[in-house]
Amino acid sequence: MIKSKVDEEDYWHSSKFKAFTFDDEDDELSRLKESRQAVNNIRRLVEEDDDEDDVERVSWSGEPVGSISWSVKETAASSQRADREPAFPKISTDTPSISRSQSGYSLSSLFKGKPKVGNFQTFSDALTDSSVRLYAPELRKPKSEYKDYVSDWSPEETVQRLQQGKAVSLERFRTLQDKLLLLDHAIAAHDGNVITAVLIYLKRTLCKEVLFRELESRQTALRHFIHYLSETQNQRLLLELHRALGKAEDAALLQYKEHLSITDENKRRDFLKNCLSLPFSAEDLAHVQDHYTLLERQIIIEVTDRQAECGGKVEIFQKFPRKALILNMPLITTLYYCCFYHYAEPEGTFSSPLNIRQTFKISEKQYFVTALAARAKLKAWLDVDALFASRNWLGFTRKKSPLSFQRVVDILQKNSAPTHVLQDYVALVDDGELRLTLAQKHKCHDIVISTYRDMKDRQLLLGYRGKVVRGSAEERKIDDLLSNPQIRWKN
């Protein structure tokens, strides 16, 4: 994708957005070059003592030697040759060990309120930051923690203990009212972990109907419950829950999602068929229906084509053996496949591209691009040509395309179309400047030459003479034009 200079200029200047343009393109480029040059020069100067003095030692993968992820690899690797590894690694004495007293300040001490007076002294000394003299009195242990041996916790205290990861029994919350009070306190604490813990208890001790009903008025808890059920893959209860809450569409999607874990294509197809009865939104239902239809077709095509391929009688499968199964591929990929292997089939077959286009209402543009790419890949230039054919009322044929011809050229070129094919389509590009650029890029000499002739630009034509092969027909053509006395050159 090398843009010619003209093309590029054109882009930068034609857009009304001048932002992020390289105003002085050359300058910018040469500046990077400058620094590259400097780097290279200096390297030569200091080559010998290169790595030794580097700031930090870095293994090739870039991990500083001694970083954790580097060490995971190192120690794991060395364990395979245990004989070389001494039981205890020697900590070399030349590396200054970290002063342990330097940070007497640990996060847990902040929260657990352990007195560490001695350490804190050294800490504040070490940091010489007078503002850190006192440590976190705000976070001193709340009162409730002292009651460690009392067992009848209030809902509030229970929640706090859960938050601190302490043992606590929920069994004492027996009545529905108690349980809900506990749940509400958990919700107020916003700790998902605690909410989930309480929910697990409620799930075990309440009947579904009651639980669902109560959750409906507690959205936060509800979300956590849904998350819990999907994490633990309790699909059945999840669906029931969604239905109970009138979230039928969510439930439908959730069930649909399960198809992803079914690997057998026939089972997957049947599963999708069953999904069609789920309460999707109208729009989603149409997509799921298409999904089902597509897989059903893919299965049929796959069986037929595998036989054809094995039979060895169908030429195209011999010439271009299939690289992958068509099963579970997206629709457009399937269309491409059918344009490749089943292009000329009558519209009645499942694998006919036209039939696929009809059934799935593929947009004209998508169909066109896909067919174009597939036929170009096969170098079926006649098919390509036919795609553009359109007859006007006088019976003349002219080339029409739902795509810009620039994109057409692009697609053809990506499929390595030869110059004589490209030329036809470059010629159809409406915009003169763009046409010229494309012609230059793809070496469509005739177009360039006749464009210069039409521009009456003798200088450009002279210049272009140097770009064509010596002694070629193009060169002769240029010479003829240059010596043609009838043309009134503008320069």
Partner 1 sequence: MMRLRRSHLICCAASKEKMAAHLSYGRVNLNILREAARKELREFLDKCAGSKAIVWDEYLTGPFGLIAQYSLLKEHEVEKMFTLKNGRLPPADVKNIIFFVRPRLELMDIIADNITSEDRRHSSRDFHILFVPRRSMLCEQRLKEQGVLASFINIDEYILDLIPYDGDLLSMEYESAFRECYLENDQTSLYHTAKGLMTLQALYGTIPQIYGKGECARLVANMMLRMKREFAGSQNQILPVFDTLLLLDRNVDLLTPLATQLTYEGLIDEIYGISNGYVKLPPEKFAQKKQGEGSKDLPTEPKKLQLNSAEELYAEIRDKNFNAVGAALSKKAKIISAAFEERHNAKTVGEIKQFVSQLPHMQAARSSLANHTSIAELIKDITTSEAFFDNLTVEQEFMTGVDTDKVNTYIEDCIAQKDPLIKILRLVCMQSVCNNGLKHKVMDYYKREILQTYGYEHILTLNNLEKAGLLKPQTGSRNNYPTIRKTLKLWMEDANEQNPNDISYVYSGYSPLSIRLTQILARPGWRSIEEVLKMLPGPHFEERQQLPSGLHKKRQQGENRTTLVFFLGGVTYAEIAALRFLSQVEDSGMEYVIATTKLINGTTWIKSLMDRPESPTQ
Tell me which residues in 292-331 interact with partner 1 (CB under 8 A): 294, 328-331
CA 423 – CA 447 distance, rounded (Å): 8
Q: Output the smallest distance, CB 483 to partner 1, in A.
A: 39
Site for partner 1 in 366-405 (CB under 8 A): 366, 369-370
CB closer to partner 1, 265 vs 309: 265
Q: Which of 5, 83, 117, 131 binds partner 1 (CB under 8 A)?
A: 131
d(CA 316, CA 322) in angstroms, rounded, equals: 10
Other CB atoms within a 10 A radius of the CB of residue 21 amount to 12
Q: How far apart are CA 172 and CA 155, in angstroms?
A: 10
Strand partners for 452: none
Residues between 218 and 237 with contacts to partner 1, criterion CB under 8 A: 219-220, 223-224, 226-228, 231-232
Cα–Cα distance measured from residue 40 to residue 51, given in angstroms and rounded to the nearest whole number: 15
Interface with partner 1 includes 167 (CB under 8 A)?
no
Q: Which uninterrupted H or E stretch holds 390?
A: strand 389-391
Residue from 362, 378, 434, 460 in contact with partner 1 (CB under 8 A): 362
Binding segment (CB under 8 A) for partner 1, from list 128-136, 342-350, 384-392, 432-440 = 128-136
Residues 175-214 that bind partner 1 (CB under 8 A): 188-194, 196-197, 200
Q: Judged by CB, which is closer to partner 1: 66, or 463?
A: 66
Give dist(CA 325, CA 319) in Å, integer: 17
Tell me whether residue 369 or residue 417 sits nearer to partner 1 (CB atom): 369
Nearer to partner 1, 63 or 446 (CB): 63
Instruction: Indicate the residue among 18 and 470 with the shorter CB distance to partner 1.
Output: 18
Ranges within 53-92 binding partner 1 (CB under 8 A): 53-56, 58, 60-64, 66-72, 75-76, 79-80, 82, 87-89, 91
Q: Which two tokens stand for residue 193?
A: 């972990």
Q: Are 176 and 205 in contact (CB under 8 A)?
A: no
- Closest separation in Å from C-beta 305 to partner 1: 18
* Short-list 175, 246, 241, CA closest to 205: 175
One of 139, 176, 314, 389 touching partner 1 (CB under 8 A): 139
**Stretch touching partner 1 by CB under 8 A, among 126-134, 171-179, 387-395, 449-457:** 126-134
Q: Which is nearer to partner 1, 27 or 454 (CB)?
A: 27
Kindly state the smallest distance separating residue 373's Cβ from partner 1, in Å: 9
Residue 111 binding partner 1, by CB under 8 A: yes
Residue 115 binds partner 1, judged by CB under 8 A: no
CA distance 104 to 116: 7
Q: Does 430 contact partner 1 by CB under 8 A?
A: no
**173 touches 188 (CB < 8 A):** no
Show the site string, 448-477: x = touches partner 1 by CB under 8 A, - = not. Answer: ------------------------------
Is position 41 an interface residue for partner 1 (rule: CB under 8 A)?
A: yes
CB closer to partner 1, 3 vs 213: 3
- Which of helix, strand or coil describes residue 391? strand
Q: What is the 3-state secondary structure (H, E, C) of 255-324?
A: HHHHHHHCCCHHHHHHHHHHHCCCCCCHHHHHHHHHHHHHHHHHHHHHHHHHHHHHHCCCHHHHHCCCCC
Site stretch for partner 1 (CB under 8 A), options 285-293, 382-390, 420-428, 430-438:
285-293
Answer for the pair 164, 157: CB distance below 8 angstroms, yes or no.
Answer: no
Pairing state of beta strands 389-391 and 397-399?
A: antiparallel
Pick from 266, 307, 358, 363 the residue near partner 1 by CB under 8 A: 363
Q: Taking a C-beta distance cutoff of 8 angstroms, is the pair 491, 459 a contact?
A: yes
Q: Which of 4, 6, 9, 34 binds partner 1 (CB under 8 A)?
A: 34
Q: In terms of CB distance, is 431 or 479 closer to partner 1?
A: 431
Q: Which stretch binds partner 1 (CB under 8 A): 104-112, 310-318, 375-383, 421-429?
A: 104-112
Out of 42, 314, 386, 462, the only residue in the binding site for partner 1 (CB under 8 A) is: 42
Which residues, in sequence order, are CB contacts of 41 under 8 Å at separation 6+? none
**Which tokens belong to 63?**
């991990």
Give the distance, in angstroms, between the CA of residue 64 and the centroid of all CA atoms in the same chain: 30
Phi, psi of 147 (to 5 degrees): -90, 35
Among 4, 9, 22, 467, binds partner 1 (CB under 8 A): 22
- CA 104, 109, 111, 115 dihedral sign is negative
Stretch binding partner 1 (CB under 8 A), from 302-310, 339-347, 362-370, 442-450 = 362-370
What is each CA distance from 408 to 229, 371, 446, in whole angstroms?
Answer: 51, 12, 19
Q: Which of 6, 9, 37, 433 lies at the binding interface for partner 1 (CB under 8 A)?
A: 37
Q: Does 344 bind partner 1 (CB under 8 A)?
A: no
CA distances from 425 to 4, 166, 375, 434, 440 (A): 19, 76, 15, 12, 14
Given a contact cutoff of 8 angstroms between Cβ atoms, the answer to whether 312 and 302 are in contact is no
136: alpha, beta or left? (left if phi > 0; alpha if psi -120 to 50): left
* Piece in contact with partner 1 (CB under 8 A), picked from 96-104, 315-323, 441-449, 478-486: 96-104
Segment contacting partner 1 by CB under 8 A, of 132-140, 172-180, 393-401, 433-441: 132-140
Please report, as a single letter, which amino acid is at residue 446.
D
